[in-house]
A = this chain, B = another copy of it.
Amino acid sequence: MPVFSQSSTIKPKRAQLDRSVAGAISAQAPFERIKHYLKSGLATGVWPPGALMPSESELVAQFSVSRMTVGRAIRELQQEGLVERTQGVGTFAAELHRVSSSLTIRDIHEEIVGRGHVHRATVHLKRAERASASIAKRLDVKLNSVVFHTLLVHHENGVPLQCEDRFVNPICAPDYLSVDFTEVTPTHYLFQVAPLIEAQFSVEAGLPSSREAKLLQMSAAEPCLIVSRRTVNRDTPITFARLVHPASRYQIDSVFKPY
């Protein structure tokens, strides 16, 4: 169950009608064909990592296109991290050393529904509180000032999957407490109310608190995957959330497929 999707999202590039007569096989745009040609060579080892690849002028001659078209194809490969270019020298097949696959974190509702399952949320706490020291710091508000606090459990097909402990800055979402979170997730609501400028994540392992273990119907000794998220809107922290998932029911999957 892939929680995360890979980063190389292929755009819905529609296959535009070919302008030339010889477009029997490939209905792709020329720059797409060149990209595909180069990607194939990279994938099959024609140009192993570090190898010098064809110059733009060579590709211009080979494909009978203008340099702009070749340039766009190569530039997009560069942006995808598949080739490296040096002005005055040439284009080289990238060392895929830094296997940094990027994992995409999504809203829990989208995630569950995307798997074709049923999402249900139960609200266990929804109130205004005085900010403790750590919360005040994270939300950049004064100590003991009023903040909103919610505690939800998200279920997938009836099984508790995530315990969401969230603090919200009232400045950003004054009506937060009047929302029915069995209908819309806090994440979704906050996105509508306060556009996001920056988000900080951390992923770690840990043990649930006794209350969290009870809410998640799990042993207090079982490890959890804990995602902490803090979102900021132009110098104003919006919210801080601690998302606790039982290890046995949750893992992050990802596939890195460069070519």
Contacts and interface: CB of A to CB of B under 8 A. Distances in A.
A227 B3 CA distance: 15
A259 interface: yes
A18 interface: no
A254 interface: yes
Contacts of A103: 102-103, 105, 201, 203
A204 B254 contact: no
Interface of A: 5, 7, 43-45, 48-49, 68, 76, 79, 95-107, 110, 188, 191, 195-207, 221, 223-226, 231, 234, 245, 247, 250-259
B195 A96 contact: yes
Given A205-B205, A254-B201, A196 B101 contact: no
A172 B87 CA distance: 35
Given A43-B234, A103-B103, A254 B98 contact: no
Given A223-B207, A224-B223, A247-B206, A106 B102 contact: no
Contacts of A68: 68
B104 A100 contact: yes
B198 A223 contact: no
A254 B200 contact: yes
A221 B219 CA distance: 13
B98 A198 contact: no
A44 B233 CA distance: 10
Contacts of A225: 203-205, 225
Q: Ordered nearest first, which 4 A-B pairs have the shortest CB separation?
A: A102-B102, A223-B223, A204-B251, A100-B104
A204 B252 contact: yes
Given A200-B254, A205-B205, A205-B247, 14 more contacts: A7-B102, A45-B234, A76-B79, A96-B191, A102-B103, A198-B258, A199-B257, A202-B253, A203-B203, A203-B225, A204-B252, A205-B224, A205-B225, A206-B247
B101 A105 contact: yes
Contacts of A110: 98
Given A200-B255, A205-B224, A104 B101 contact: yes
A223 to B, nearest CB: 3
A96 B257 CA distance: 24
